[in-house]
Amino acid sequence: MARRFKKRESIEIGLRRLATREVGAALAALERHRDGPAEGVHRARVACKRIRAWLALVEAGMDTAEGEAEAFKQAAKRTSGQRDLVAIRLALSDLAGDRPELASPAAWADGQLITMSTESDMDGQAAMHAMLVDAGARISGWCVEGGPEAIIRQGVERGYAAARSAFFGWRDDHRMSGARPRSD
């Protein structure tokens, strides 16, 4: 699936088209992966992140971009516990590996995680599904105003400024701790 604006379409039309497609893909992933929900949840969360990135890019021309991005952030957040549990399960399995003495504690912990997560998984997925349906219904009303070059330029400049700020913050933290940045 091509995830880009078309050359001759307006930013508004392109944003609506892309976001509608991503919401549809997220809802389909949640539905399709009911037997093994981890993959469906992951795909739905990635779709939310893509939409948030596009909204950040056009924020200068869209009054509701921040609020819409927050709605997609909250939709994805509803399933973050489930995603964390899957990561813990995988880590426990990897730690146990071929060591029989670790198999029992890993299996016990895995069972505890499954028991704890079963109800919250379904609640989180249902909430995420409902939030995506609501957000999907609002997409047709999204309005982007202003010149496309100025809007995109401002979005890219904000993104680069945030990245530079994060890098310098990381670098300063590592300098104060005495750690050296890797030179990979």
Q: Which domain does 40 fall in, by range?
A: 11-79+121-166
Q: Is 92 among the domain residues?
A: no
User: Contact 98/183 with Cβ under 8 angstroms?
Assistant: no
Q: Let me know if residue 115 belongs to a domain.
A: no
Domain count, the chain: 1
Say if residue 160's pLDDT is above 90: yes
Q: Is the pLDDT of residue 110 over 60?
A: yes
What's the distance, Cα to Cα, between the start and end of the chain in Å? 33
Q: What is the mean pLDDT of residues 143-149?
A: 91
pTM for the predicted model, two decimal places? 0.74
Residue among 13, 2, 8 nearest 142 (CA) = 13
State the pLDDT confidence band at 184, using cuts at 50, 70 and 90. Answer: low
pLDDT digits (tens, 9 = 90+) for 42-99: 889 999 999 999 999 999 999 999 999 999 999 888 887 777 776 777 777 777 766 6
Q: What is the pLDDT of residue 52?
A: 95
3 in a domain, yes or no?
A: no
Decide if 105 is inside a domain: no
**Tokens 């895995």 identify what position?**
110
Residue identified by tokens 């995420």 is 128
Q: Is residue 181 part of a domain?
A: no
Asked if the structure places residue 1 within a domain, the reply is no
Identify which of 42, 5, 2 has the alpha carbon closest to the alpha carbon of residue 26: 42
